[in-house]
Chain A
Amino acid sequence: MSDDYSWLDEPPPEANQPSASEPASQRRFTLRMPRFLSRLRIRRRAPKAAAQPSASASLLGSQRERPLTELDQRLKALRERSLAPEPRDEWAELYDVDQALSSPALQEKPGGVISAVALSQAQQAQVDLLTEIVGGQSNPAQAPARRSLASAASQSLPSMSRLLTVALLLLFVALPFASSEYATGALPPADFADDPQANAYFAALDSLAPGDYVLVAVEYGLGAAAELDALTDLTLRHIFARRARAIFATSNPIAYLHAQNLLENIRAQSAQAGLRLVNGLDYLLLDYLPGGALGIRELSENFADIARRSLRGAPTSLPIDSLTGLKMLVLVADGLDDVRNWVEQALPEAGTRNLYAATSLAASPLTRAYVEGIDRFAGLVVGLRAAYTYGAMLDAALSVDAQAPEQIIEIADASSSSASGTSPLTPPPSPSPSPLPTDTPRPTSTPTPLPIDSPSPTPTTAMLRIVEVTSPQSPVNIRVGPSTAQTVLGLAYKGDILPVLDASADSSWYKVLMSNGWEGWISGNIVTESLVPVPASGGDDSASLTSERTVLSRFVPRRYGKIEPRFSQANQDPSSTLGAIVQLRERAEAAPRLQALTMGTVAAVLAITLGNLAAAIGALFRRRGGRA
């Protein structure tokens, strides 16, 4: 027999036969091959085979623990101590404190120290009931004897009722994707008129001003991606469309990777419309926060330290040193614990800043309890239907903005406007028709017009010399001096745009201004140089580009105009307005997905109602038969 146990591996042949001579305490845990593979064959149903245990349940039920003899001395001592009679109670003088502070008595059970920390009888009964309902094996003692590989492979398929339920669900969910004729139910409303908390969420994001910092905490796993991706995507596009800056933080590494992918998608789509989103300027990925609640607490109390470097280790030089410097906090979460952690650990340290949350339907009851009890937890949107409404409101808000072109087109590309024969302040064409419902009424909330950064929108022909990182081997190094022998100062990524301060004689090296305000040298072989027009607001441009604040205030806002000559054609494209960042999102399947959700719910209601009705009738007949 092997020395240790395994979950999914095939055991040695002798392990398949139960050993009668082996004491129970010394039996070792081995498992069979994955049951889902062995279930590929159908066999005749065994007589009186009541509820076949599910693979996972019988997997758990058949596992055995290591013998006590394998425990080390420390664990043995702990076990002996826990089994020993309780010492004299030293807390008897304090009423009930002894009961509140004493550890529960461990129970002696065969199987070792792990099973000694067992559920109470009432808890075990609940677990047994739940296990039985979902088709598992309730009592490990009644688990079938370990079967050989051949007998495991000949296990029967799940019961017919379960197959019918699954088939019904799959059919109903698939129908709306097959044809619109099977769509049923109304689509969600076009505004949050009946949901003040959701309305507050939208209004808060819509009131963001250029340059505001928003902490976006993405805390959902990939299992909830189908429900929350849409809300995350819309939230980010809304932030970027308002020219605010998103600072990402999370205690979930998988969620972080997924958020980066969403961000890359938005960035790529925006680039197609001539809208540049630059890492470190428009958004920033903070380092992963280990330890769940403790990591969030650390971020709250030591924001300046954590925000000093990005996820990739590059210095950030954020001009804010605490959560109070943010405009707001936005949390996207699918779990109760994540909501609780951010509310309890981050919100108290955020001064007067508000928290807004987008959650799954499962997390909404607990989240609403917080929202209604805490003033600064000010808004909540829930699930896929809210995403649909949010998208409709965002479209409406940005179409209003599109009618105020002088607030959208902040600078003019003199060359392109003269080439196209249009004035820089010419209103752009109306955005392309939205595929959202045509009977969409105007949202009740009043969209906030985009603030104007500069009081003087007069275009000039001042040019800024920039380089764009084009190397496919991203990231690339920025060094202290113009040589590969020099120390690496920071990193730049493909697509990053850096203002040029100086260059070597042969332009093989460029001295650039990094996003954190530092100056460094980057090789000319991995960048493409170009000139972009920027309006002069007084003073000498090149001389004033010496600090990060200067870059942010003078360079970044103009990226949303047409600063790059190769995007000058985009001026004639209606999608190149600020609204493009929202209009470009993929919405084609929003309606079928929602209708599939509706149909799936109908199928679930049918299955649960009919299944239980049949069960109740069956029970009634059995009782009558028993009386007779």
Chain B
Amino acid sequence: MNLLTQSYPDLVPAVPELFVLTMACIILLLDLVLSVRWRNASFLLTLYTLLGASLLTLQDIGEAGRYTFNGMFVDDLLSDVLKVGTYLLVACVLVYSRRYMLERKLFRGEYFVLVLFGVLGMMVLASASHMLTLYMGLELMALSLYTLVALQRDSRTAIEAAMKYFVLGALASGMLLYGISMLYGVTGTLDIAGVAAGVRAKGVDNLTLGFAVVFVIVGIGFKLGAVPFHMWVPDVYEGAPTSVTLYIATAPKLAAFAIIMRLLVGGLVDMAGMWQDMLILLAVVSIALGNVVAISQSNIKRMLAYSTIAHMGFLLLGIIANSENGFGSAMFYALVYSFMSLGAFGVILLLSDQGFEADKLEDFRGLNRRSRWLALLMLILMFSMAGIPPTAGFFAKMAVIQAVIEAGQVWLAVVAVLFAVVGAYYYLRVVKLMYFDDPDQQRDITAGWDARLLLAGNALALVLVLPWIGALLDLCAAAIRAIPALP
């Protein structure tokens, strides 16, 4: 083999990744020479990077899957949709958190660079067709997130949260890696399509394959924050600066969905009988515990953390259905959930102020008197999270439950609906606090117009998307069909 005879990899499918990487390095260097007064330049440059990346990604959306880098990278509809969702979420995260970060002296170059590297990690994950790339993307994303949580290094709670996140995240990565190594041991390849073929050849009752699936599920459970691997979620959500919580609570959920699709569905679809049972357990316990424990929280960030756990249980319902329809509805759920979570944490950020975190439920008391508009937006967001029609959250829940019923697991659907009703209590409590209680503070809301405008768009979109829900579900189903291993 000679280097000259080696064909050069086709870089065109990976252009968005290369663009984001280049821009992250440019921002890193530029931030050194720019003075503090020009910090906004890094901010705008980061937003332009996300805009440019979405244009580059949208350019070839809808084309059939293209593989490059020796089959380690795939550019198909699934990756494109997840990537565009990620750009949009992260751009909103940056706009919402601009003032918050400025006031806490966290508006530094490293913040933007780490956010962009995190985005790069999620993009790599979304496009992974090889377990090595999948793992590298996961580590890239996780490392950026750990650092972002610890960025507020004078805050004890933030450091504690970062420490917990780091230790448990490293453990989860180790578990996943152990599972991957066993898959490699059995099938002799790391290529995900190759693993699928190897599993088919070896037969599903191979003991080592069973072990591998267990470890993979544990790793994924940790990353999703599903019970019983949820211990880090409330502490990290509460301890991290709210702007970072906003980041963690949105885009990485899409990345976690990508891991499930690529690894569990793309590579281990023949083992479905085994992982379905495990996921049923995770889903039921997550929905139950998340919704019940959230009721007793007085900190809204912590409450939303438990609500995340419950929502991840709902997402898993779609995966459990193990049908094209089910995976599509799970993808739709992941997208809708991340935008709801974006809006809810966005409201907390907008209410926060210099030296004041609006992270207690009491801080929402009488919000209607202070700002009718923000209260209305929060009302929409809470209704959507609870799954009350006509919001997108209702249709997302309906889609996954429909998929579960189609798969013949009616009892699972009943349990999910029952606990969704329990969950509605704590979402509606926020609405009650906002509309029927008297405000105990008269703090002015000093949010900038850009964040207000975007937040309004974010929350109203959850209602106004109604006529296009069918189209979005079709898009998700089409994206799922891009996975080659599906029958």
The judgment on whether A and B are partners is: no
Q: B: which residues have CB within 8 A of A?
A: none
Q: A: which residues have CB within 8 A of B?
A: none
